[in-house]
Amino acid sequence: LEEEHVASVKRQRTDKEASALTPVDDAYFQSYGDLSVHALMLADKPRVGAYLAAIRAHRGSLQDRVVLDVGAGSGVLSLLAAKYGGASRVYAVEASPSLAALARVLVSRNGLGDIVQIVEGRIEDVDLTEKVDAIISEWMGFYLVHESMLESVLAARVRWLKPGGVMLPTSARIWAALVEAEDLRMEIEGFSQLHGLDLSPVGDAELERRCREP
């Protein structure tokens, strides 16, 4: 990335900040380093198309401005913001080394290296040299919050977004409905009478485990 086009980005982490990267963080970023996860998302045409429509609809807020992509993954949103949003600079922050490397290849392949800069690291750790006019992020997962990225996006908003800046997406809804799971009910209740033994605590624990999963 040519220095005359994009401000340099420094990644500065103190020993205290580095120690904050827990084994859970490592496992999380390793799981999203799996290319199949990103191939699945890229193949989801309605999902990607919705972001492209939002970028086009907000071109007036993105053109000739600075954009931050939090958890950039393959960098597709950064590329769209540069190509269709008219952004002058895009900082694509990605913590997974393998995905950051892939994103650099894709940026070069699409001839957008003078606009999009891949910043390898956690958004909580990286240090940009300027505030941004817009933040874009694909942070939603199963039941909206499964990917646990929302806190990182909000941290980026506090630290890097200019007053009056744009967030894409800006809001979201969770729809809920009651369901009947007769097979599950019978399975759990079966532990209370197993060969004349009351093993209901096993059923309670199993139900709790099931309810933690999407």
**For residues 13 and 112, what is the distance between their CA atoms, to the nearest angstrom?**
28
How many CA within 13 A on the CB side of residue 178?
2
C-alpha to C-alpha distance for 103 and 76, rounded to whole angstroms: 8
Active-site residue, selected from the candidate residues 3, 17, 138, 213: 138
**Which amino acid, 198?**
D
Q: Determine which one of 124, 147, 187, 206 is catalytic.
A: 147
CB count within 10 Å of CB 28 equals 16
- Residues 195, 40: Cα–Cα separation, whole Å: 46
b/e 56-77 (16+ beta carbons within 10 angstroms → b): eebeebbeebbbbbbbbbbbbb
| Residue 54, strand partner residues | none
Cα 10 to Cα 18: distance, rounded to the nearest angstrom: 15
Q: Is 17 a catalytic residue?
A: no
Helix 35-42 × helix 97-109 angle, to 10°: 40
**Residue 138 bears catalytic tag:** yes
List the catalytic residues.
Answer: 138, 147
